[in-house]
Structure 1
C-alpha cells in the first residue's frame, strides 16, 4: 500500500495551524474467495480491519478501478449478492460510484461507515460486492473473443510469442475470458502486430489450466521473437456473435421488405379508390 491509496479531500476547508497533526483515511484493497488472485469478494482494509463493500449501485466502472488497482487488467464482471461468499466484520463502503478512470477505489465517491456507526449503511453481507478481472485480453479481433493475445504485467500490456502456440493454449485463453471453446490458434500478424514488451515465449499449456500464466515456461520478458510473431486466437463465441449478427440483419431486411410491400399495396388501393370516386 502506498500514500496514493489514501482518501484525501483537499477541497474541504480547515481551521488548522501547522502545529496540528494531519490525518487521512487509508485503505488497501484485496479479493477473497475467488478462483484466482484476480477474482473474488472485494474487501478493503481500514483501521487495521478488513471489511466488505456493499453492492448497491456496483457496476463495471467500479470493478474496473479494483482490477486496475490490483494490477489485474480489465474488468470482466461486476457481481453482487455475495457471489464469492459472504464476508464478515464491517461493511466499510456503500454506494460506490466510480468513473472507471480512477487509479484506486479510495478515489471514487462512496459512503464510508465507521466503527462508531455515526455513518451507517443499509446493507447486509448477502449484498457483498465482487469482481472478476482478467490480466488477459484479445486485441483487434472481430469481437472480444478473437484477436491478438495480450497479457498485463508490471502495469504494461504486452504480447506473447507464437512459438509452439497451439489449440491447447487457445483453450485456456478462451476459458479464462469466458469465450467458449477454442476454435483457432493463429500465428503471425493475423490480427496485426502489437507494441511494447513481448512478455512470454514458448507457452505450453495442457489445456486444463485455469489461467494462461499457469502455462508460463520462461521468465517474464525473456524471448527471441519479434512482434511479427505475436500469438492470436479465435474462440467459439466469435461464431455465436456472427450468427446473432447475421440473424439480426435478416430480420431487419425482412421488416424492410414488409414495409415496402405495405407501401406498394397502400398506393395501389389509393389509386383504385380515386378511380372509383371519379367514376361516381
Structure 2
C-alpha cells in the first residue's frame, strides 16, 4: 500500500511518473483501496477477411461500430490501418465491398491519410457520412501480416 497521495495531471504515461505528496498520517486501510477500470482501446477492426489482417474496415465511435466508405480509399489509408493493427505493410486497398456488405452506419467518408498517422482516426475525412457508400462500397484492406523489424 502506498502512503503517498498521487496527483496525476493526465499526461503521464505511467502511474509512477505522477507527482506525489507524502502523507503525514498513514491512515489508509484496505477499506479505502482504489481500483481502476480501463476502457477497451480497440477502435478499429477488420471484418470478413481470411485472416485478422484482411477485411472490411470498421471503426468504433461513440460506442458503436460503423463502416468506412471506400470513396478515395487508397494505399496510404490502408498503411495506417495495417500499422494500427500490427499487421505489417499494406498489400491492397479495396473500395468495392470485396469483404461483403458492411454495417449501415458510416463513420468515416472520404478518408485522407498521408500514411504517417498512428491511427485511422487521426486521418482527415470529410463529406456527409449519412449519404452512404453506393456505388463505391466499403473500404477494405489486405495487409502483409508480417511486422517489419526496425
Superposition deviation, residue 187 in structure 1: 2.0
RMSD: 3.3
CA positional deviation for 1:116: 2.9
Name structure 2 gaps, 5 residues minimum: 1-9, 32-37
Pick 1 or 2: higher relative contact order, CA cutoff 8 A, min separation 6: 2
1:117 matched to 2:117? The reply is no
2:136 and 2:113 map into 1 onto residues whose CA distance is 22
Structure with the larger helix share: 1
Whole-angstrom distance in 1 between the partners of 2:19 and 2:52: 36
Residue among 99, 107, 121 paired with 1:199:
107
How many pairs are equivalent?
130
Paired residues of 2:12 and 2:18 also in contact (CA < 8 A): no
- The offset of 1:117, in angstroms, is 2.1
Displacement, 1:152?
0.7
TM-score, with length taken from structure 2: 0.71
Is there any run of 5+ residues in structure 1 with no aligned partner, and where?
1-30, 35-40, 42-51, 53-84, 91-114, 121-129, 241-280
Contact 1:159-1:194 within 8 A present in 2 as well: yes
Shift of 1:132: 7.9
How much has 1:211 moved relative to structure 2?
1.2
Query: Aligned to 1:236, which of 138, 144, 148?
Result: 144
Residue 87 of structure 1, CA deviation? 3.9
